[in-house]
């Protein structure tokens, strides 16, 4: 398998660049040759379809009752449109029941491989594939439906050379895999500094507005981790989850998104939007190819100014 030799990338790199970097490293693709850099270029809207769509996805649904409560509250009161269900969580059945009461919230699977030892993850890809399918089966059993998307706890699907296992599951079930589809991943809404220390300024309402308004044309998913702290063993992300709730439900955030002409959608909209995104990408590639074929001495076309 091609991806068994993929180099691992850091969490910071993946959270910052998402699909362009992860996809390029996985497939040996040039960021610039295939036009993927347009997904992270701030002025990419000048070429092709400039419409912007945003999915706001909460990881860790099902982890515990407090996380569930925070996620559904953020969906009802804020901008959350999607969530990823962790079937190994303590409150997965409660999460599935509550999700049925909120049909506009798309629910994908948050595959959890943290219980597997590193040697197995690095060498026994058949065991990893079996575990991924087992969790898919549990998802269908508790929800009564297929997930709308696939991602993983701690982004493990891009570590230990297991990306090909997830890609095979993605193709088999016809589901987008985080970081390996036309949905551009943005992991910038994360309440820790690069050295791992807490940093609430990164998950404030103002920070969220900057991230949302900075997305390029096409479909972007912004990950988040809202929740309430529960009694018992401390959550590694702790009180940052509650800070995220406040930002995600701040009326200024929704107003800024709407004023910028960005459309909030969910992963359930991906099949409908995928052809639009593909056409926009094709136009960008055609424009780039046309520029490369310019005769020597010809002038570079003037870029149109950004709209209001």
**306 occurs within a structural domain:** no
Domains in the chain: how many in total?
Answer: 1
**91 occurs within a structural domain:** yes
**75 occurs within a structural domain:** yes
**307 occurs within a structural domain:** no
Q: Provide the pLDDT for residue 294.
A: 54
**295 occurs within a structural domain:** no
| pLDDT, tens only, 92-103 | 999 999 999 999
Q: Provide the pLDDT for residue 1.
A: 33
Q: Give the up-direction half-sphere exposure of residue 20: CA atoms within 13 A in the CB hemisphere.
A: 19
Q: Provide the pLDDT for residue 76.
A: 99
Give the contacts of 151 (CB within 8 A, at least 6 positions apart): 57, 59, 84, 108, 109, 110, 111, 157, 177, 178
**304 occurs within a structural domain:** no
Residue 116 DSSP label: S
Structural domain span for residue 38? 2-290
**302 occurs within a structural domain:** no
Q: Provide the pLDDT for residue 293.
A: 61
- The length of the chain is 308
**284 occurs within a structural domain:** yes
| Closest by Cα among 43, 37, 82 to 226 | 82
CATH number where 26 lies: 3.20.20.370
Rounded Cα distance between 219 and 19, Å, is 12
Q: Provide the pLDDT for residue 284.
A: 64
Q: Provide the pLDDT for residue 238.
A: 82
Q: Provide the pLDDT for residue 46.
A: 38
What tokens does 206 get? 């103002």
The sign one gets for the Cα dihedral 179, 184, 189, 194 is positive
Rounded Cα distance between 160 and 121, Å, is 6
Sequential pLDDT tens for the chain (308 residues): 333 333 344 444 444 444 444 444 443 332 222 222 233 333 333 344 679 999 999 999 999 999 999 999 999 999 999 999 999 999 999 999 999 999 999 999 999 998 999 999 999 999 999 999 999 999 999 999 999 999 999 988 988 889 999 999 999 999 999 999 989 999 999 998 888 888 999 999 999 999 999 999 999 999 999 999 987 776 777 889 999 999 999 999 999 999 999 999 999 999 999 887 877 677 667 777 776 665 555 444 433 333 33
The count of other CB atoms within 10 Å of the CB of residue 197 is 8
Q: Provide the pLDDT for residue 203.
A: 97
| pLDDT, tens only, 43-54 | 333 344 679 999
The sign one gets for the Cα dihedral 195, 198, 203, 204 is negative
């Amino acid at each position: 398998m091609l991806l068994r030799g993929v180099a691992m990338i850091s969490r910071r790199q993946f959270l910052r660049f998402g699909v362009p970097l992860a996809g390029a490293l996985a497939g040996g693709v040039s960021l610039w040759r295939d036009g993927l850099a347009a997904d992270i270029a701030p002025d990419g809207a000048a070429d092709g379809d400039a419409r912007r769509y945003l999915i706001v996805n909460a990881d860790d649904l099902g982890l515990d009752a407090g996380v569930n409560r925070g996620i559904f509250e953020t969906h009802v009161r804020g901008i959350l449109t999607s969530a990823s269900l962790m079937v190994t969580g303590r409150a997965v059945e409660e999460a599935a029941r509550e999700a049925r009461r909120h049909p506009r919230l798309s629910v994908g699977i948050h595959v959890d491989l943290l219980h597997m030892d590193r040697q197995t993850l690095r060498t026994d890809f058949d065991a990893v594939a079996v575990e991924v399918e087992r969790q898919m089966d549990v998802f269908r059993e508790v929800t009564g439906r297929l997930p709308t998307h696939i991602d993983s706890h701690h982004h493990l699907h891009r570590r230990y050379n297991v990306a090909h296992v997830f890609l095979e599951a993605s193709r088999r079930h016809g589901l987008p895999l985080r970081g390996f589809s036309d949905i551009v991943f943005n992991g910038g809404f994360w309440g820790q500094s690069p050295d791992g220390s807490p940093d609430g300024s990164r998950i404030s309402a103002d920070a969220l507005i900057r991230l949302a308004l900075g997305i390029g044309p096409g479909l972007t998913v912004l990950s988040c981790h809202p929740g309430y702290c529960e009694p018992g063993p401390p959550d590694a992300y702790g009180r940052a989850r509650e800070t995220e709730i406040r930002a995600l439900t701040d009326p200024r955030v929704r107003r800024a998104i709407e004023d910028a002409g960005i459309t909030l959608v969910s992963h359930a909209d991906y099949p409908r939007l995928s052809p639009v995104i593909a056409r926009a990408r094709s136009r960008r590639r055609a424009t780039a190819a046309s520029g490369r074929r310019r005769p020597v001495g010809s002038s570079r076309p003037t870029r149109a100014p950004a709209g209001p």
